[in-house]
Structure 1
């Protein structure tokens, strides 16, 4: 039996599916070249806009492979040329976590420090400059980091003491420091402690406060024009606010798309969603924006979830990937380009996977 491979589907105009082609789109899953499922530890997807996107894969040897658009050096291979198949990020040999933003990438190293590369116009690389770099550079002042996340033009890091640090673009308050000033080096998010997980959207962020499960709450900050903070308003927040929801049994996971948010509820592992819903990316059968969390019907036992520009992918208890929302580039992977406001099975051949990724500003998906 052939070994399982990393899969991708959706927009491929920049080679972001990594299958060795520049095919316009793929409406069903294709294979990312050269990477077997057994060697891939983590995956991440970045990009902004229909034609943009890049993918990252962390391997068992702690190196990182990258592919897709590379105009700002977000592939980290020392060039600014796009690639339609994976290649190794240079000078990176001890990665334990990865994240991908609009046009930049992050890697958490085994020693608790963070490396970044790609676009740096807004300081999202955290190295104190505004210059792009096509090779990994160290984020200043970060130690004892346990998790990272990347938004469109900003970055987040979670320290082992439960505090969250942010840097980059801040026009909508996404750095959570009470200002709208960009930062080229990390600064702490105001008023957050005991955080166990973080997620970054295009211009907003989520933090899970407390251990996943009973008693955990969700805090959010940044851009809120479509209700993605879940605080029953559409007011941007420059410091974290509590998402207004009754979490039966607590929350185990959080995820953010471009302008929408998701949480997995512990009691029955159902999925909640809120925020922008233009293409049905909340999965509730409507295209109505939601300023408070609503339940995605028909999904139980949800184990993983990821959000793209206007679509969502989730792994259910039946080990099947479901997708919903915008599908003009085939990012739902159901063989069509028809949008869906309720979950549809992506492809039965993808059963048994345990990793999902979608770019907060892009139109493709990864599964392994």
Structure 2
């Protein structure tokens, strides 16, 4: 009897232990799921980690989003302490978080939130973009919607009234790519033309004037475009197939005080001009920070940069502005690139991230707040990174 009683007690204890271990194991597996990461300034909740912590010098986790469900990430912002993030999900909905004073989160309110929430009335998005205080989405029918600040007509709906929910951009169809600057927007149509709307004070609409527009208009003399990128107040366009060879042409227009157009001048341009460069091996990708520009070139995917360099965001070891492209020394195998207000990010072929430039808010994610004029390794807390994002006018970073 004593032996039987002991065995029963052991079996009961074992069942209880198993009951405890099963949920613990499931919870542990869930906790180890790959998650979207963020770092840098967080004063507007733009890191999406559920806090308002001033800044993070290494990666924190964006709440509620697993990497597997995230198709694309973008970041917006119009100042060091402002910013918002967007994530396009596999179900074609969009999540948003961060600053929302102009309705740029698209949730029907103007209240900022420090964790992701869903953009309303949006269920068929295929691409996203984020500007200073506004956001864009490309839909499956190749039309575009926008939400947020609209004081310069950057929503493209024929008004100058802000909208906290997505509104249709007028007169656009057959769109294949979108981009957003500080207060203007771009769309690339499948016929290779580029259309622009919003603020035009520095010629960033490329129509030869300085008149802002609240509906899209074509950029003058630009055809055969395959890639677009928008900085704070300037734009880039790649003419010809990406990486096609030394015949690639890169065009730029808009604000140019720091040389970000790359035409060996500091004169702003109201229509596109050619960026200086022979591009051996071609240009495969382009990106723009606030006042600097970036191109991935050659068969070994090197980086060239030009424009503002006051924080070392050109990565060439100096703080000198450049009016023509200069190489980032020692960096090859670049798969993706992103530009922030005064920092740059690159995703390498080994799925690690390098960053350089301004680091006052920890946006380089190397555990310090020290600027770097050469690339440093970002501590992403991730293996197998395949997406990165930085805000055109902000000081934080995203990786997935």
TM-score normalised to structure 2 length: 0.91
Matched, 1:259 2:316: no
Question: Which of 180, 193, 202 matches 2:232?
Answer: 202
Matched, 1:64 2:82: no
**Within 1, Cα distance between the matches of 2:75 and 2:312?**
21
2:25 aligned partner: none
Moved over 2 A (4+): 348-351
1:355 aligned partner: 387
Matched, 1:79 2:109: yes
1:125 aligned partner: 155
**Within 2, Cα distance between the matches of 1:139 and 1:342?**
40
**What aligned pairs does 1:239-254 form with structure 2 within 5 A after superposition?**
239-254=271-286
The CA deviation at 1:311 is 0.3
**What aligned pairs does 1:303-342 form with structure 2 within 5 A after superposition?**
303-342=335-374
**What aligned pairs does 1:154-193 form with structure 2 within 5 A after superposition?**
154-193=184-223
**Within 1, Cα distance between the matches of 2:363 and 2:379?**
12
Preserved contact between residue 120 and residue 130 of structure 1 (Cα < 8 Å):
yes
Preserved contact between residue 283 and residue 342 of structure 1 (Cα < 8 Å):
yes
Which structure 2 segments of 5+ residues have no match? Answer: 1-28
The CA deviation at 1:318 is 2.5
2:138 aligned partner: 108
Matched, 1:53 2:83: yes
The CA deviation at 1:317 is 2.4
Query: Residue 142 of structure 1: SS of its match in structure 2?
Result: coil
Which structure 1 segments of 5+ residues have no match? Answer: none
2:8 aligned partner: none
**Within 2, Cα distance between the matches of 1:363 and 1:187?**
31
2:42 aligned partner: 12
Matched, 1:91 2:141: no
Preserved contact between residue 365 and residue 380 of structure 2 (Cα < 8 Å):
no
Q: Tell me the alpha carbon deviations over residues 74-126 of structure 1, each in whole angstroms, 9 at most, x when there is no partner.
A: 00000000000000000000000000000000000000000000000000000
1:22 aligned partner: 52
Richer in helix (by share): 2
Query: Residue 303 of structure 1: SS of its match in structure 2?
Result: strand
**Within 2, Cα distance between the matches of 1:351 and 1:344?**
17
Preserved contact between residue 307 and residue 313 of structure 1 (Cα < 8 Å):
yes
Q: Relative to structure 2, which stretch is displaced further, 83-92 or 290-299?
A: 290-299
Matched, 1:31 2:61: yes
Alignment size in residue pairs: 368
Preserved contact between residue 321 and residue 351 of structure 1 (Cα < 8 Å):
no
Query: Residue 38 of structure 1: SS of its match in structure 2?
Result: helix
RMSD, matched Cα = 0.7
Q: Tell me the alpha carbon deviations over residues 18-76 of structure 1, each in whole angstroms, 9 at most, x when there is no partner.
A: 00000000000001000000000011100111220000000000000000000000000
**What aligned pairs does 1:145-160 form with structure 2 within 5 A after superposition?**
145-160=175-190
The CA deviation at 1:349 is 2.9
The CA deviation at 1:348 is 5.9
**Within 2, Cα distance between the matches of 1:259 and 1:316?**
23
| Max Rg structure | 2
Q: Tell me the alpha carbon deviations over residues 216-275 of structure 1, each in whole angstroms, 9 at most, x when there is no partner.
A: 221000000000000000000000001001101110000000000000003220000000
**Within 1, Cα distance between the matches of 2:161 and 2:301?**
43
